[in-house]
Structures are given as structure tokens and as C-alpha cells.
Amino acid sequence: MRLKLVPQDTNWDFFKYRYATFGFSVFLMIASLAIWLTVGLNFGIDFRGGTTIRTQSESSVDVGAYRDAIAPLQLGDVSISEVFDPSFDSNHHVAMIRIQAQDGEESASGDTIAKVEAALQSIDDTIRFTQVESVGPKVSGELITTAVLAVAAALAAILFYIWLRFEWQFSVGAVVALFHDVLVTIGIFSLLQIRFDLATIAALLTIIGYSINDTVVIFDRLRENLRKYKTMPLQDVMNLSVNETLSRTLMTSGTTLIALIALLVLGGDVIRGFVFAITWGVVIGTYSSVYVAKNIVLWMGVKRDWSKPTDTTGNQFANIDA
């Protein structure tokens, strides 16, 4: 007996309320942009500049105890993580502490470093600082520029690939859906003031990859059905394609969310922003694959040139290997 997330033959009309769902997506994008511009993002140390301290101790690293010791100093955004290396001795325990740039300073001052060291030595007298490095505003600005270029390059590459693999209408729908996912994710980060750092950029790129995978699967089935049902209206062919891939979509998203929710609850503060971004991205990416990308294609229409041989109908680039 196999577990079935959806019935064997579903016939749900996903595009019955296509104007309402697409309007809701447009509203989400506008609201996200407005929140981003008015509230702003809670940039982490990577984008605001700050100081990175490498500690070494003979006792095990207790991230919670370290954070509790530093909290009374009111240094703002402080990130603490343990460093693991197989080459370390049994009494060699290393941690990385990142402190955001203080007001009017490019990095933490010598007095601040001394206070942090004293606070940590109050809970473990074997702690010593082996390395102290600072990231200034100029480097942080370069990181922001590089991050924006990375996301833009990913979107451009996907636009080009989908255009080759399918038709230009498909590529426009896919990229609009990806832009929707990225913008809404940034909006939720701005609204909730979750720390936005380089790990979040990595999460955004992961979201783009995950979302386009789901979109391409449905697009591929849509292309097959356009050849099979040559006289069926485009909306009906789209509904059929989404229904036929629904079980796969729910299984992939569901199993991914199980792992992500476990990490979100048990993973700790260090990776919480990263995991939250991917979790939100899986949900919004699954939604946008149907209600944004397919709505765009339905609105723009697809050329169905049946004068071509069946294996290349409507798409001269259909046989390019994925």
C-alpha cells in the first residue's frame, strides 16, 4: 500500500481565479518593495562592517554561554559560531565571534575588544584571542554590490537557458516568477527584521535554483501536452499539466520542508536566518511556479505551429540537452 498525497487522477482548476491569484502576487511584490524601501533590511556584519575575533580555549565552546556573557555589553549584532577542524587537539577549542561596527567607528575599538575578552574570561579563564580582524564600510559595500550582481547573473542565465530550452514566453514567465520569489523573500526579511547577511544571499540563490527546477518540470510536461492535445485550449492544457505533476511537486516540497523545519527549530541562531529564507522560498517558489510563471505564459500565449514535425512542435530548440 503506497502513500498518496493527492488522488490518482486530479482535475483541479488552478486557473479558475487566475486574475485574483496574479493580482495577489502583484500586491505581494509591491508591498515587499514598499517595506524594503521604507523599513530597510537588518544587515549583518558582512554588509555593515565590524570585527571578527577568533578565540581559543582548553574548554568546550558553549555558544549560549558566550552570548550571555557578551550581551550586557550591548554591542548590537553579535554572531558566535564554533570552528571544527580534524587537526585540532582534544583540548583545542576554537570559536569565531563577529561584532558589528559601532556607531562612528569602522570596527570595534581596543577598549571594546578588551571588554569582550574580560567578559568571556569570566566564564572560562583559558580563553585567549588568537586573531582579530576588521571589515570596514568599503569592503561591506563591495560585498553588497557583488551579492546583487550574483543574483542578477543567476536570473539572466536562467532567462537565457529557458529561452533556448522552450520559447521566449516561457523564459519571461520563469524569470518573473523568480523575481517575485526573491523580492517577496527580501520583503519578509525587512518586515520581520531578520538578519540579512551573506548566508541569506546564498539562500536566495538556492531559492532561485529550487524554484526554477519546479517551474521547468511543469513547463516540460506542458510542452509535451501541447503536442499531444493540439486542439485543446491553452488554459485546459496548463491545468492538465499542473495536475499531472502535482504529486511530484507536493512530494518534493513536502520532504524538503520536513528537513528545513527540523533545522529551523533545532538548528540554533547561527543558521536560523539561512534556513528560514530557504523554508519561505520553498513555499513561495512552489506557489509562484503555478500562479506567476504559468499565469504569465497563459496571458502571453504560446505559438502552436503544427506544421513542424511532432518532436519539435512549437520549439526549434526543444532537443537541446538539459
pLDDT tens-place string over residues 191-215: 988 888 778 888 888 888 888 888 8
Backbone phi and psi for residue 232, each to the nearest 5 degrees, phi listed first: -75, 140
Conformation bin of residue 126: beta by default, left when phi > 0, alpha when psi is -120 to 50: alpha
Supply the pLDDT for residue 4: 61
For every residue of 274-300, DSSP letters joined together read HHHHHHHHHHHHHHHIIIIIIHHHHHH
Q: CATH 1.20.1640.10: which residues of the chain?
A: 18-42+140-312
Mean of pLDDT over the chain: 79
Q: What is the mean pLDDT of residues 72-88?
A: 77
What does the pLDDT read at residue 29?
Answer: 92
* pLDDT one-digit tens code per residue, 146-162: 878 887 887 788 778 77
CA atoms of 123 and 116, how far apart (whole Å): 12
Q: Where in the chain is the domain with CATH 3.30.70.3220?
A: 50-135
The domain defined by 50-135 carries CATH number 1.10.10.10 = no
Where does the pLDDT of residue 35 fall: very low under 50, low under 70, confident under 90, or very high at 90 and above?
very high
- The superfamily CATH assigns to domain 18-42+140-312 is Multidrug efflux transporter AcrB transmembrane domain (1.20.1640.10)
